[in-house]
Structure 1
């Protein structure tokens, strides 16, 4: 390659990397995969080494990537917050091991999960947290102290055993369960959903209003020292143990290795466990355990020479977009869905994937007939990662969102500031079906006998035109309900109509039968459920489980909500500035939505119907949990793989008087350890005086044994 060719190629690579950095760090919307990005970085680095005239301090491979945002004070990092050199090949780890062996002797390794989150620095003065900052460009980051103070697992004050002046560094992340719940709220509100937990975490930390951050399920893992307070530790593992004793959340899994073969065993073991953590990991971090060698080995402009990040191959699969259909949600939002050729990925068969909204389809240029790569966002949600454009034949079809609701034929509208189209017909059958499902969900009225098929049948038969019609149903009518009634969304795809041959395949009659009695019993029991369950069941935009609980605690009964002075005070407080503005538990959006609901024509009818049915849910503050419950006042943390959903156990723990926490602190009484829990997490818990129990013991305690 000539100098001219090298210069030209370097310019192309720099442009690609800078564009990718902007999309990833500033827009929180990555447009290239990790492997492609790492390949570009490596190629540019090799070019700059081979053609020295190409080296510049401004090169993206010789500085840390990451954006700074307007509206935040700037914090200078000393020493800089560097990133790690990455590799996808074990052969390169052998070269790394050889380099270390030629430089020092008597060393060992330590292996930890590479958390896919947002890097943070926490500084303490007189053992009090004074500054929290993002990595930014490595030299300067954004001051996000107010936002970080809302993360409950981060200690505000350190114990006397900790240094008075201390800086630690780590990774903030959003839990997988929290990510799913947040995206569900975003979808309900017509807002753009986050692509993955890392993007959701970054967006949450960069909020100018700490109340928004406080509403997001964030946590941290502290894994490194900063510029002060940690010089006395001889090894990395000794330092991590000290962090845990001082109250910091640390990695739940860590392994020592005496040689490179043990390193390989550890990273293979970690890869098998990657889906068991509550955070996403995209690789393993391999470090020299003995800290005395860090200065000897030094660092490049990009990162330390004593550590490497080994990136796991992305779990993805190739498939074909056979069609794009449109489903209608309970708030009227029209969501395009990719109907995929079935493919197995990460433990399950995938045949559908949400495409979120029309803007997303245009951004990714997804067409019917395209070959695509799919991944699992948060290791849970199937998502179209990218289009394999080189496989296009010209027969692919561009998709356009419908101008009418595909179910009811009603008008659709796009609100200002929203990314989604909505069906604005209040009588839309699809919306009612999904509202019924929400009304019956576990966190709402928990009507186990009322699932998707039953909801569709109730609506399509004309028995239910509003959720409160459920309370007027009679046993004989329900028993004879035909569950073979077509789905409210049958008209969403012409493919369904094409497959119906009159007289050839008649639908079998399937009666609701004995389940009718179970549903009526559950409906009767739901009358006495606490206010927050009813508030959530109503499905009002902006009122999730947490918001419903906060609102319920501020009121005594359902009939106190219309025109509530508490809610009006929340809106008035939002207009105040500076010190006059209070940080209130009830969010402005929730207060605004609830007041607007009761002022609407439908809200007035709903209120009147509740009164006619003699349903007036009371707040739990009028009937607090018994102080003699088996877990009364006990802080509980759930970790590892459990046989039942965590949400279910959390509800049972709260019912028994316990307090569910996101991570182990000095206030945690019980750590409920499922399968595949790292020894580090249980050891940390024991050092803090926490009692470690298994799932079987929890079940015994919940039953009062």
Structure 2
């Protein structure tokens, strides 16, 4: 091969390696996915660096190899921020959070506004400045007015592109947090221990120390990463919402905080905060709260700032408490839907005044992500009211005593081969007769959230599912083998009296509670049936929409998905249940035993209204201040006439009902050419008169 051919081949190989490295960066930062290990990733960078060293003409300032660090600097230069990096207010209770929301409403009015909800990363604040797409400076927060120039270290961080991709503004200042991931921190501790060094105490302090190192090669060894969460100065671009800004910077190659969402109102923001809290165990980075911020940048200007912080953002924080303890064993429990959940049995340790001896490991993927083994030392965290969860394995404390845990291939209760959810992470027992599923299903059926049968707790359920009916049948039937059997217990009083610690009074109270539960409303029965993806809220929506179990059973998947807040996943689950032999038998048995299956007259009226509904199949958005209706009244009217309500305007919107002081939703509707109705026009549309109601 000629020298020119070697150069051409090297050029192609370098471009291929750069494209592959950027592909993995894209997966990690934008989709929270990985196809290769960190070691394999580092090898790709090393191969590219060797190629560039052999062919200097291939070197480029924006190559991934430039992130391994240059020469040490003599000291830090203090830089004045173009826009001050102010702190944000904190609250620690939901009451305080709601008070903040009330203050926002008081200032801007009752019209719902969209909110951004994101994790508050427990890292070190950093500002990145790009000019004409190239990273020119990175500055710490400092005192909020002035910070230190740490560009030499920022260039080594994952998540900090040296050159932006696609379309970018002339000047872009992006602000966010630099942090060390939990797995990276565990590996770093192990490396330091192996080298005879004292391991670092926590990841935040490690990140703060790393960013102030003078030698970027040492910073690179700390494995710092970056998440963006806000904008500083900006020239050459205009964004109307924060969500639009986040989408834009991700297209440029800068990752925003993982699992960030936009929601339609403050109530949804609070609800989504709870959802994010429940997902803490899924994160590979530490957080100390949830940040809620107004999405619309124009409304932010209207809200303004105090002398210390903006009025359009709040941090819902919690106190974090950690402890180190050892995994004594790992067990697997089977839930009411057959989900196999691994649980770490821990050496008891006190965290925030509570003795912790168990921590859920959630699923097989979580065990693999954490790399946890029996005998490992763990860091367990308790944050506020959140149940304790495992943060990381202390790899530097490993010796030869650890034993890998192998996830079962069969149900530990009934030995049925387990299956993995399609496109999911959970492993399930598919046997509907599994004793564990039966026990947990019965417990939930009788719980306060469902049929509210007082006295039917897990201890009694365990006895009833083991005791046999004295019928002489072969094989012998258990007293409690299905939901319907709860309502047949009145015929087996004598067998129940033979159970341990069960007397006449207990039986009388239990049977009275069972009989009373027959009158529970339809939504409670739907909840109690424990259909996958169907909780209390969805059950109420379905019962309200269709009125009776019979009507609900006739709905197709498509018809179910038209119900507000019921998406295709829920619709598929509900339709599949009612079409199954098991579902039909359960409903048939419960109907025969006299349970409330809904109001037939209400169902007929609802069906008639929907059939004649002038809004049948239409989607409406209501915006602005209304004078003829309260917001819940007009939403109810829309649904009554066959339509559905939505919180945001899109191409799928059929009408926008606009009151006074309608804002961005009205503007968007006009831009999209969507029909805008006044309140009087809406009344005419549904067949009313100007004097309505």
- State the TM-score, normalizing by the size of structure 2: 0.50
The answer for the alignment partner of 2:526 in structure 1 is 535
Task: Answer yes or no: is 1:553 the counterpart of 2:541.
Answer: no
Change in CA separation of 1:385 and 1:377 when aligned onto 2, cut-off 3 Å: same
Q: Structure 1: how far apart are the matches of 2:349 and 2:247? A: 39
SS of 2:388's equivalent? strand
1:196-211, aligned counterparts within 5 Å? none
**Alignment-derived partner of residue 668 in structure 1:** none
Q: CA deviation at 1:535?
A: 0.9
Distance 2:578 2:420 in 1: 23
Contact 1:135 1:142 in 2 (8 A): no
Query: Residue 493 of structure 2: which of 476, 483, 488 is its match?
Result: 476
The answer to whether the aligner puts 1:82 opposite 2:154 as a matched pair is: no
**Residue 464 of structure 1: CA displacement?**
0.7
Q: Is the 8 A contact 2:30 2:250 kept in 1?
A: no
Query: Structure 1 residue 134 and structure 2 residue 246: aligned?
Result: yes
Cα distance in 1 for partners of 2:356, 2:256 equals 42
Which segment drifts farther, 130-139 or 385-394?
130-139
Q: CA deviation at 1:517?
A: 3.0
* Partner residue in 1 for 2:593: 613
What displacement does 1:541 show? 0.8
Q: How does 1:215-226 map to 2 (within 5 A)?
A: 220-222=292-294
Which has the greater radius of gyration? 2
Once the two structures are TM-superposed, the CA of residue 391 in structure 1 deviates from its matched residue by: 2.3
SS at match of 1:401: coil
Q: Which residue of 1 aligns with 2:583?
A: 603
Separation in structure 2 between the aligned mates of residue 63 and residue 450 of structure 1, nearest angstrom: 60
Q: How does 1:188-587 map to 2 (within 5 A)?
A: 195=282, 220-222=292-294, 229=301, 235-236=307-308, 240=311, 243=312, 250-251=313-314, 279-281=316-318, 315-376=321-382, 379-461=385-467, 462-474=478-490, 476-477=493-494, 480=497, 482=499, 509-511=500-502, 514-565=505-556, 567-570=557-560, 584-587=564-567
Contact 2:521/2:596, CA 8 A, preserved across alignment: no
Cα pair distance change 1:541/1:77, threshold 3 Å: farther
- Paired residues of 2:327 and 2:346 also in contact (CA < 8 A): yes
Q: CA deviation at 1:521?
A: 2.5
| Partner residue in 1 for 2:571 | 591
Distance change in 2, residues 1:441/1:85 (3 Å): same
Is the 2:243–2:295 contact (alpha carbons within 8 Å) kept by the matching residues of 1? no
Distance 1:362 1:65 in 2: 23
Residues in 2 aligned to 1:562 and 1:153: alpha-carbon distance in whole angstroms: 35
Unpaired segments of 5 or more residues in structure 2? 1-22, 39-67, 78-134, 138-150, 180-202, 213-226, 468-477, 606-629, 633-693
Distance 1:587 1:451, change over 3 A: same
Aligned equivalents of 2:368, 2:548: Cα separation in 1: 47
Q: Secondary structure at the match of 2:324?
A: strand
Q: 2:76 and 2:565 mapped to 1: Cα distance?
A: 58
Contact 2:538 2:566 in 1 (8 A): yes
Local SS of the residue matching 1:458: helix
What residue number does 1:689 align with? none
How far apart in 1 are the matches of 2:296 and 2:321? 28
TM-score under structure 1 length normalisation:
0.49
Question: 2: CA distance between counterparts of 1:224 and 1:436?
Answer: 47
Q: Which residue of 2 aligns with 1:151?
A: 264
CA distance in 1, matches of 2:581, 2:515: 27
State the structure with bigger RCO (CA 8 A, min sep 6), 1 or 2.
Answer: 1
Give me the whole-angstrom Cα distance separating, in 2, the residues matched to 1:201 and 1:392: 28
Task: Note the 1:95-110 alignment, pairs <5 A.
Answer: none
Cα-to-partner distance string for 1:551-586 (whole Å, 9 max, x where unaligned):
122101112122225x44246x7xxxxxxxxx9432
RMSD: 5.6
